[in-house]
Structure 1
Amino acid sequence: MEKRLVRPEMFTLLLIIVSVISFSAKPVIDVSVTVFGDEAMGKIAQGIALSEVLDTNKFKITLKEALKTLAEELRLQDLLSTENVVLSKEEKIEGKLAIELSIRDAGYKKRYEEYVTNNISGDYIYYSGKYIRVILGERYKYDYEKKTYVRSEEGSYVKGTDGEFYSYFGNFYSRAPHEEIDYYISYSVSLRLSYRFFEENFDISDNFVDNAVISVVEYTYDPYNNKLMREESPVDKIYEVLSSHISNVIYQRIMNSRKLKGEVENVKFPRVIVNIGSQDGVKNGMILGVNDGKNYIAELIVTRAGGDYSECEITYLRKGSQILTGMSVFEKYSDFVLPFGFSMFYIYNSSGEHFAEFSLLGKSLNIHRETVATFDLGMRYSFVEERFKNLVFSFSKNLLFEPVKLKLLSSIIFDYDLEDETFQPVSRIGLETQIGIFAVKFLTDFTFSSYEIGGGISW
């Protein structure tokens, strides 16, 4: 069993859950933090070469303060409450956040470094994964008339001692072998957040393992005295960086688990007003879904987030459905809709030619995500001449959607002549009917003197 580093301590974090009924009711979250694992921390004080002694109790205090600051700076308020609001300590607690952090391992590692940054007198660059020695202080530019490199203070090239030129604007380095020291900590977190929101109970639980690394002993180069200078991070900074890392990871895990919920308050198509706003964590551009009590029927995008409400635009509405006041809304990711398609047809024309036609379709969709028009780019393979013979540009407009799709077609077909090496355009108009992915189309010219008919699949 792990030895307990500290006793569980309770401290109140001032955090709000919005009440849609009354702003006078401002619930808060009660947080408990427990830290285990002093044996792992103790290894550091015995081995790392620092001028200050690492104090495991001080790390615990710093971590607790970081988690407290997490709430005081309202980082968690994006999940539950209004920004920039300070509550009194007398409010009734409506939720609990319990965190158990176990330090699994901690220690230090030495890193061998052969080069150190030196932008004053460094004569190495790091280029394509390796260090290259260059002529110090010389810059070059490329003269396109003379087709050679010439010296220029404004040039973007440096010359290596190997005679090659390198385009470079990065750091310069000196070769100075040395060892640097990193401090690492591996830990596991178990957390549970329970709270009431919109008269519903929510429970978020999470368990994860993570690690953090900070450089505690580094070296810089003193170009004037031509020597390395040791730089040691203060112990307080080590505690601060590690504690901030842990608290931020906890924050991200909770935020990734959240789901905002609300209700439709008013509908003036295509605008919808919902009863959650910026004080609930809603932001412009957020995607919301609408549920009619049984099924997901619509997608909204937030165009303006007020304090306790948001204005949204409908981006999708299932055909035959209607958004009504009182329907529930919930935060979601935007639906993945691919506005492209593909078609493949077998074509026969009045001249007796046979073709295989392959087209890429760009789709224009309506609010029900039905295809109302397409812009097609295709190629035709002639079975007679055994080559790709035609380039096809087409536009289609849907006249009917259900139960059978009916499209009005117009096409420009470019016939490539091998002997003259020219494209000859021919215009066509016609109709296409489609059931599912199967389609048939008929095209003719404006004089009705020639025609072509084809069948295939279109998606």
Structure 2
Amino acid sequence: MKKLIILFFIPIIIFSKPLIIINVHAPEYSEIFYANVQGIFGENKFEILLKDALKKLGFEVKLQDLLSGENIILSENVQSPLVLNLYLKNFSVTIQSKEKFFLENNASGNYINVNGKYIKVYVGKWYDANGGKDGIFVKGYDGNLYSATSFFTKFYHILEYFIVKGKIYYNFAGKDGEIEINKKIKKSWYEWNESIQSPIKKENSFFIDQIAETIAYNLLNKLKYNIKANVVTLKDNRVVLDVGKNDGVKLNTVFSVDEKAQVIVRNVEKNFSEAEVIYLKKGEKIIPKDLAKESSKMVSLPFELGIYYSTEGLLFSFGLVQKNIHNEKIAFLDIKTSDFKISRYDMGFRIFDFEKFGVFLTYSINAPGILLRYQFLDFFIKFNKENYTIGGGISW
């Protein structure tokens, strides 16, 4: 194994930041990598921007955006070198070939592809749906009209792909892991050149760059650290966190607060940020010194499905819902079906809570009613001039 050492020096304007050493351990056939690397680390989170190139891994190598500079900032009190070890294992590159009989040619191609079948058409002639001129359809030699956006020329050729497989093992700050690479990359292909009325063969000169970028982004996801913060103050629907731009916080960064709330950053300053509460577990409160951790935004779709049984029989529903900050339904508009036919349209508004039940006032054509909701369970009664409907079920 060759041990490839890449030193990465921080520019003089941030001389107080520590040196970062990247050790790349590659198989014997690999040549030495050289790189100009610039990056920023941080107490909460990090990314390194590997700017120019890791060169000569058989070919020219550019590991672009290894760890992007937006995700972590170097902690000013870290002075000792930081080390990232990368180990390339069991890498293989094979070539896969595929026969092609047609080539895309949107300038003068006389074939179109319809459900996998190539059909010869008249070039430069367009028809309307009735066969008249100046429409949006092309006419095939079979006499039929077709809608087409891509055209092809009959041309036998071979497409070639690199199939790249292997593993990258890494170690950083006590964190170990592996990345599996399995990527298909174009090696050679043909493109139609209208000026010479002929195909031209193209070769992929950025093959290693693409492999390197794949490794880089996978490594970034593996090494990503989430920002941690504390709640400083709370006012109305806003909280102030004790982290800001210097800690890698950006607009729309989402934090989970002690597993009871989520906030999204709406304003970010150098050392603090202001965030809007977008979810709060019912019965809970956010208080100063609560711990917040960067997270993914909770998904809440504005749709709802339901299954009910009532005096009308079995009903299915689909509709739109509006939810409050506790992720509870407060309004809805849905369609209820029976025997796959629309039975009625319903709408409702949450008017108050009773014990653990949400109480809704509902309305469908000439039939007002009441709906009680407990978690996913619904109980309803509707009235009209002649009778009433009662039932229950689940919706989610």
Common topology (TM > 0.5): yes
Q: How does 1:41-440 map to 2 (within 5 A)?
A: 58-60=56-58, 62-63=60-61, 66-67=62-63, 70=65, 75-81=67-73, 92-93=79-80, 95-102=82-89, 104-119=91-106, 121-136=108-123, 138-142=124-128, 147-150=130-133, 152=134, 155-173=135-153, 175-194=154-173, 203=175, 205-216=177-188, 218-220=189-191, 229-232=200-203, 237=205, 240-255=206-221, 257-258=223-224, 259-291=226-258, 296-337=259-300, 339=302, 340=304, 342=306, 344-347=308-311, 355-356=312-313, 358=315, 360=317, 362-375=320-333, 377-378=335-336, 391=344, 393-403=346-356, 405=357, 407=359, 409-413=361-365, 426-428=366-368, 431-433=370-372
Contact 1:274 1:310 in 2 (8 A): yes
User: How far does the alpha carbon of each residue in 1:225-263 deviate from its partner, in whole angstroms, 9 at most, with x for none?
Assistant: 666554555xxx3xx431343234322442355222222
Larger gyration radius, structure 1 or structure 2: 1
Distance 1:427 1:438 in 2: 21
Deviation at 1:401, TM superposition (A): 4.1
Deviation at 1:264, TM superposition (A): 1.7
Over the aligned positions, Cα root-mean-square deviation in angstroms equals: 3.9
> In the alignment, what sits opposite 1:53?
none
Q: 1:396 to 1:341 in 2, by over 3 A?
A: farther
> In the alignment, what sits opposite 1:423?
none
Q: 24, 28, 41: which is aligned to 1:33? A: 24
| Percent of paired sites with the same residue | 19
User: In the comparison of the two structures, how many residue pairs are matched?
Assistant: 364
Q: 1:456 to 1:260 in 2, by over 3 A?
A: same
> In the alignment, what sits opposite 1:457?
393
> In structure 2, what residue type is equivalent to 1:266?
T
Higher helix share: 1
Deviation at 1:434, TM superposition (A): 5.5
Distance 1:122 1:304 in 2: 53
Deviation at 1:189, TM superposition (A): 1.0
> In structure 1, what residue type is equivalent to 2:142?
D
Contact 1:407 1:432 in 2 (8 A): yes
> In structure 2, what residue type is equivalent to 1:393?
D
> In structure 1, what residue type is equivalent to 2:313?
A
Deviation at 1:376, TM superposition (A): 5.1
Deviation at 1:402, TM superposition (A): 2.4
Distance 2:101 2:28 in 1: 36
TM-score between the two structures when normalised by the length of structure 2: 0.74
Q: 1:247 to 1:323 in 2, by over 3 A?
A: same
> In structure 2, what residue type is equivalent to 1:165?
L
User: How far does the alpha carbon of each residue in 1:61-111 deviate from its partner, in whole angstroms, 9 at most, with x for none?
Assistant: 733xx23x536xxx52223128xxxx9xxx824532211123522243444
SS in 2 for 1:254: helix
TM-score between the two structures when normalised by the length of structure 1: 0.65
> In structure 2, what residue type is equivalent to 1:399?
F
> In structure 2, what residue type is equivalent to 1:290?
V
